[in-house]
Structure formats: structure tokens, C-alpha cells
Amino acid sequence: MMYPLNVNKRTLGVTFLPDRQAQIVLWSPSADQVDLKINGQSVLPLQQEELGYWQTKTDQLRPGDSYTFVLNNEKEYPDPASLSQPQGVYDASQAIDTSLFYWDDQCWVNPALEDYLLYEVHTGTFTPEGTFASLETKLDYLKALGVTAIEIMPVAQFADSRNWGYDGVYSFAVQNSYGGASNLQRLVDACHYKGIAVVLDVVYNHFGPEGSFFSNFGPYLTSKYCTPWGNAINFDDAWCDGVRHYVIENALMWFRDFHIDALRLDAVHAMKDCSPVHILQELRQQVDHLMETTGRRHHLLVECDLNDPKFINPLTEHGYGMDAQWIDEFHHSLRVTVGEAKTGYYADFDGLAHLTKSYQHGYVYDGQFSNVRQKLFGCKAESNPGHQFIIFSQNHDQVGNRQQGERSSQLYSYDTLKLLAGAVLVSPYIPLLFMGEEWGETNPFFYFATHFEPDLVEAVQQGRKDEFAHSHSDKEVPAPQSHDTFEEAKLQWGLLAKEPHQTLLRYYQTLIALRRQLPALHKLDRQYVNVTANDDQQTLQLHRWQGDQHIQCLMNFSKQPQIVQLSEASQEQDWHKLLDSADEQWFPQNGISTAPGSLSTDNAIELQPESIVIYAQGHEKSHVNVPNPIAQRLYRGEAEAVG
């Protein structure tokens, strides 16, 4: 028999039936014989089915038991669809029953994407303990900040305990050092109780380099395409159907069995597929089927490096149907505008002009020649709404792939940190914050990865050195394998009790509250956006409106004061100031603001260096309540209650 997809239950690996029997299904077209070994002793044969599948039912395998598959009466391996690897990637799998968890989120409703404010978290470095349980203790803090969705970097089982997560091997198994499957379920349930959605980062473009025995089972990889990690995952070559089944089953499992609200698919441009129905299209179809069945809403977010709206266009328009994508080009334009050297991929970006374009059009390169790529690059995304684009001033890649892992707090002035935050949070796109940026975390976020194989350790270290060989820096590249590299990347929660970190946190809270409560900022309607820039002054004016409420965001990226006038007279009434990053309450370093509290379009405004000022019309709709429980506790000296 064939094992077709069933959105109601997992059909790969070990599942437990109502009669307490275990159903075991393995895809291994390369095998001539498959046996199940339980607790290192009992051996049961699996029956060969169609299209490379093997199966059996037994009451001998119980939750908590260890098991392996013996191929061709020779070598034994963990289950490719294992849900638990308690001893790591080389040892036996553990049978667990995820259906035993009692969920308390029956009333939870996943927000619409335009209501997402994303906060990217690496579980191992977010807290001193580096576990799901310790992450759960920070949910009140995140809620008070204004976060509506946390994005967790990959948790699929990888070698040892220190890794970004993109070297995951067992896609169905939750990393043991983080707390495993049950603790992830508890975390998601707790997030929903607090009103926070959960996005999980998943990797379907390669398997990690250590502990992957998948090729012994079947052609999970193909040499038909080459990716940065070697052979591509097999989505369209011989025997690809079993691999496609594996990936889609995995995505459905996170949604159905772990109540994950959205998946962020890593580097989908490296998911090579020339099938009539692309793997992403098939994934979209199956997730839609799941949503129809369960009544729950799930989002599919992607990292894509192609500036091709086909990925986010709906299936009805022959697109791949992804809900939103990360936009690196906004980040690159913003960082060059505030002084990032135009080297590497930054060489393609002209700062203010490209930032202006990204505010208006999302993609910067939408058909013109790219000097870095040496070709015409990109297409226009004219009809895609603002909630299909995710932007940021920092993320794990943009920080961790620097030679010294410097965060913005180590690269730019304190005033620039406030300007960067404002530039992101007033955009007509979904904002993403990288853990700790809201208080100006000073620890770096290095690339780290521990491996057991000495040759692999050396290769990874040499690869990092080669990557920065032309950086003209005399500093050593931090060793990915080093425990110190990992420890130094952990957040310093104690900084919340110090200045200027307290004030920066309060500033972020205020910006987030503005964004959430003002329709002109909250509604992500790209047609209600106008942007003008003055290259000589290095100033930018972002005008957004919704109904009769108008917002003007005035930004000065230069290091000198600049005199500007509002670019448009949207209504006859005056403009009223809502936020000024150079106001003395925000501890400005380049001069205290002289911008008036209210003005007309005829008034000239002096913008302080590296600052942002936000004015509003339709002021009866511009009153903002700024919840401040974090700062209030800190000012009473109760930092430990937060950290």
C-alpha cells in the first residue's frame, strides 16, 4: 500500500494508535530488507510496500523506548523521521507520543500578518540556561514590550548542543538540549496564553553535515543541482516523491501537533525544483487543506534572495502562495544610509535613494543591473500588500555573519540606534526585532557550531577564515567550535538595570505602541505611502495615512542639524508631535530637540543629527497610551523581576 499525505495525522515514523499499538512507517527505496530494533534487543521485520515504503504494527514498542532501523541485515541507523534523539544525532531514536500533551489554547486565534511584530530568538543564547523552559519565563517581558510573535531559530536536532540550528539533521526531532518536544509544546501553549504567536524557522534546503545517514535509506539528495551546502535536497529527481512527502509531513506536523502559527522557510531560493507543481506550491495546497480541516490559520514566511514576487503571489496567479518574505534589501539600504561601508553585498546599495525606493516598492532591484551579481536582477512587486514584506535593521544573519559578530550597538552611536528603530517601526511592512536590540545589547552574536568530527571542525573553522580573508582586519575570526564563542553570544539581561539601556528599551516600547495604536502606522497599505528624500541633507520624509489620519516621519541621517519643511499639506489642521528621538527624555547625544510640539506646513523644523521626529494630523485619533510596565519596574530597582 502507498502512504498518501493525511493532514489529520503524521504518516511517517512512529505513531501510536488508539489501541496502543505502534504504527511504524519508513521510506527506504534503497533497502532490500528493513528490521526494527527495540531497546537494542527485539528485532521485528518491516513489510515492504509500494514506492519504497516499509511498515509494521506492533505492541512491543512503547513511548519512551529506544529504537533503530537495521538495513539489509547489516547496519542500524536512527529513524529519519525520529521525533526524539535524546542522546544526539548518532544514537538511537526514542519513540514518543506527541498527542499526549494537553493543550489549553482552544480559544487562541493566530493574528493576521499585519498584526505581527516579530522578535527573533535563538533559544540557546536568549537566556543563561538556553532552554524552552527558561525562554517561557521571559514571555511577560516580551508581552510588555509589545511583541505579538516570536520567531524561534531552528530547533531540529543537530550535533551536540551549540549551533545556530541551520545544521539540523533530524527535521522532526526537537533539539534535546533545548528540552525536546514536550517542552516546545509547553512553550507554544504558554505563548498563546500570553497572546503571542509562534513562528518556527525550518530548513528544507539542506541537511546538516554531521549525523545524516539519510542517503543510506534513499536518494534524499540529488547531484542534479549544487547548493552552498553541496548536493540539493531531491525535489524533482528520481524517487523525489518520498522526499517531498517527508518535507510536507514535517511542515504539517509543526502546525498540527505543536500548534506552531507560522513557519519561516530558510533560503527557499536553494530549494531547487523544476516539477510541474513546485514543492512550495504543493506545501501551500496542503497547508490550506489543513486549515480547512482544523479551522486554524497558519502562515508561510520565506527567506528568498531572488526579488521575484512569484514566491509570494497566490496560487490563483500562478505563484507559489507564500504569505510573506524577508526583505534584506531594506536592511542593506538602511545600513549604508547610516554609514555601513559599501563592500561585499552592500556595494550594490546607494544609501538614501535606495532606502526611499524600498519604503515605496519593497524590492530595490526590480530589473536594473546589479554590479555585485553582474546581471539584470529582480522584478517589480507592484500589487503585493505591505504585510507580505518583513524588514529589520538586525537579524541573526546580518549580525552573526560579520567577522566579529558586532551588533548595531557596537557599530553606531546611541542616537543612530534610535533612528534605526524608528526607520523600521514606521515602515509599511512587518517589523522584525533581533533579540536584545531593544535595549542595545553589547555582546556580539557570533557564528557558532560544535561538531564531533575533527575534520569537520577544521573545515568549518577554515571556511570562516576564508570568508573574511580579504577583510583587512588583524582580528582573529572567533572559533565556531569554542565554548567561549557561544557563551559570549548570550544576552546580558543585567543591562536592563543600567542606562542608557533602560531608556532605549522604553523608547522601543513607545515606538511599538505608536505603531500598534495609530491606524496610519498599523495598516500596511502601500498605496497610502509617500516618500521624499534630500540627498544633500541626508534627510527623508515618510508620509503615511489612513482615512483622515496622517503621519509624517522626518528622519535626519546626517551628523549635522538639518532644516526641513513638511513635504505635503494633507489637511488644513496643524500637525502635532508624537515622538522625537532627540527629546531629552531619550538621552540624545547630539543635541536636544528644538522641534515644536505643533506646527503647520509652513513651519521649518530643525532636525537634530541622527534623529527621527513623528508628527500626526487627525489628532483625535492620534492619542497614544504607552504601556510602561518594564520601565516602571526598572525605575523602582526591580530589574530582577524582568530579567
Q: What is the pLDDT of residue 572?
A: 63
What is the rounded CA–CA span in Å between residue 328 and residue 305? Answer: 8
pLDDT at 635: 39
Known binding residue 302? Answer is no
Q: What's the one-letter identity of residue 568?
A: E
Is 572 annotated to bind ligand? no
C-alpha cell at 50: 509500494
Q: Does 340 count as an annotated binding residue? A: no
pLDDT given at position 231: 92
The DSSP code sequence of 104-139 is --TT--PPPGGG--EEEE-HHHHSSS-SHHHHHTTH
* pLDDT score of 643: 46
Residues 163 and 48 in one domain: no
Q: Which listed residue (266, 282, 366, 610) is catalytic?
A: 266
Phi-psi region of 225 (alpha: psi -120 to 50; beta: other; left: phi over 0): beta
For the chain, which ranges sit under pLDDT 50?
Answer: 1-2, 631-632, 634-643
**Residue 398 among known ligand-binding residues:** yes
Residue 536 annotated to the active site: no
User: Catalytic pick from 249, 303, 348, 366?
Assistant: 303
643 domain-assigned: no
Q: Are residues 376 and 439 in the same domain?
A: yes
Write down the pLDDT at residue 1: 42
Q: Tell me whether residue 244 is annotated as binding.
A: no
Q: Quick one: cell of 34?
A: 528493513
Same domain, 63 and 128: no
- Domain range holding 76? 13-98
Same-domain check for residues 397 and 306 = yes
Bond prior to 478 in cis (omega within 30° of 0) = no
Place of cell 541485515: 73
The count of structural domains within the chain is: 2
516 belongs to an annotated ligand binding site:
no
Judge if 26 and 147 occupy the same domain: no
> Do residues 385 and 335 both lie within one domain?
yes
175 occurs within a structural domain:
yes
Spell 333-360 as b/e; 16+ CB within 10 A means b: bbbbbbebeeeeebebbebbebbbbbbe
- We report the CATH number of the domain holding residue 21 as 2.60.40.10
- Strands 42-45 and 66-71, how do they pair? unpaired
Per DSSP (E only), the strands in 203-237 are 221-227, 230-233
Q: Are residues 358 and 389 part of one domain?
A: yes
400 carries a ligand binding annotation: yes
Rounded distance between C-alpha atoms, residue 627 and residue 270, angstroms: 42
Q: Do both 393 and 351 map to the same domain?
A: yes
Closest CA to 566 of 533, 601, 597: 601
Enumerate the β-bridge partners of residue 632: none
Clarify whether residues 26 and 60 are in a common domain.
Answer: yes
| pTM, 2 dp | 0.96
The tens digit of pLDDT for each residue in 357-405 reads 999 999 999 999 999 999 999 999 999 999 999 999 999 999 998 989 9
Q: Is 623 within any annotated ligand binding site?
A: no
CATH number at residue 434: 3.20.20.80
Q: Is residue 584 annotated as part of the catalytic site, yes or no? A: no
Asked whether residue 199 is marked as a ligand-binding residue, the answer is no
Q: How many residues does the chain have?
A: 643
Query: Which ranges of 310-349 does DSSP label H, i.e. alpha helix?
Result: 328-337
